[in-house]
Amino acid sequence: MRTRTAIGTAVAATAIGGLLFTSGAVAVADHPIRNAGTTGVSAGPCRGSGFAEGSGMMGARPASAPLTTQQKTTLAALAEEEKLAHDVYVALDADNGDARFSRIATAEQGHLSMLRTLMARYDVTDPTAGQAAGAFRSSAVARHYTDLVARGTKSLAAALEVGRSIERADITDLNAAGQHLEAADVSMVYAHLSMASAQHLRAFGG
C-alpha cells in the first residue's frame, strides 16, 4: 500500500446542480430528487441490456420529449456523480488493488458516456467535459472526491464502505430523477443505471 498524504475529511453539505453532497452520501432536500429504494441484484457489469453506446436507444436520435430546466440541471448533476464514482474507484483501485474497483470504474465510465449522449441530445452543458481524473468543475464535488478517497484509503474495509455509500446515493438520486419524466429515453437510462448501481452495491457487499 502506497504512502498516503493525510487529507482533511470535513465536507459541509453544499448544493450542486440540484443535489446536496455531504461527506458520506448525497442528501436530498427541497428539489425534485426524492428518496427511493431498489433491490440489489447479482454483482458484476451490466450486459445484454440494449443500452450499448452508439446503438439503439443511445444512438443519434432526437429528443423524445422536452426536459424542464430542473430536469436538465439534474441530468448534469447525475453526470458529475458518475464521474465522481469513476474517479474515486480508480483511486481506490490504485491504492488497494482490489479488482472490484477497476471493474466497476469501467462500468461507471460507460454510464457517464450514456449521460453525455443524453446531455448532447437535450442541449445540456456537460460539467464533466475536459475534466481530468479527480478534477471537477464544482469545488464542492472536488472536496467530496477528496473526502471519499481519504476515507477509502484507510483500509480495504473502508474502501468498500465508500463504494457502498456512493452506490446507495446513486440509486436514490437516479430513482428520484426518473419520476415525472416525459422523456422516455432519459427515463430508461436512469432506470438502467439504477439497476447497475444495485449490482455494484452488491459487489461491494451491500
Each residue's pLDDT tens digit, 143-199: 999 999 999 999 999 999 999 999 999 999 999 999 999 999 999 999 999 999 999
Q: What is the rounded CA–CA span in Å between residue 181 and residue 114? A: 17
According to the model, what pLDDT value does residue 60 have? Answer: 58
According to the model, what pLDDT value does residue 185 have? Answer: 95
Q: Which residue has the higher pLDDT, 189 or 56?
A: 189
In this predicted structure, the answer to whether residue 15 has a pLDDT above a threshold of 90 is: no
Q: Which of 8, 185, 35, 153 is nearest to 25 (CA)?
A: 35
CB contact at 8 A, 200 and 107: yes
Work out the end-to-end distance of the chain between its first and last CA atoms, rounded to an integer number of angstroms: 25
- Counting DSSP H helices and E strands in the chain, the numbers are 5, 3
Q: What is the CA radius of gyration of the chain?
A: 16
In this predicted structure, the answer to whether residue 42 has a pLDDT above a threshold of 90 is: no
Whether this model's pTM surpasses 0.85? no
According to the model, what pLDDT value does residue 33 have? Answer: 28
Where in the chain are the domains? 14-32+62-203
According to the model, what pLDDT value does residue 1 have? Answer: 44
According to the model, what pLDDT value does residue 58 have? Answer: 54
According to the model, what pLDDT value does residue 65 have? Answer: 85
Q: What is the rounded CA–CA span in Å between residue 104 and residue 88? A: 11
| Listed ranges 2-11, 22-31, 143-152; the one with the highest mean pLDDT | 143-152
Q: List, for residues 79-138, the tens digit of each pLDDT value.
A: 999 999 999 999 999 999 999 999 999 999 999 999 999 999 999 999 999 999 999 998
* Stretch 65-79: mean pLDDT: 95
According to the model, what pLDDT value does residue 30 have? Answer: 28
Q: What is the rounded CA–CA span in Å between residue 206 and residue 127? A: 29
Displacement of CA 147 from its chain's centroid (Å):
16
Displacement of CA 83 from its chain's centroid (Å):
6
Contacts of 88 (CB under 8 A, 6+ apart): 145, 148, 149, 152, 162, 166
According to the model, what pLDDT value does residue 64 have? Answer: 73
* Stretch 31-40: mean pLDDT: 30
Q: What is the four-CA torsion angle of 87, 88, 89, 92, rounded to 10 degrees? A: 130
CATH superfamily name and code, 14-32+62-203 = Ferritin, core subunit, four-helix bundle (1.20.1260.10)
Q: What is the rounded CA–CA span in Å between residue 35 and residue 48? A: 28
Strands (E) across 96-160 are located at: none
State which amino acid sits at residue 127. P
CB contact at 8 A, 100 and 203: yes
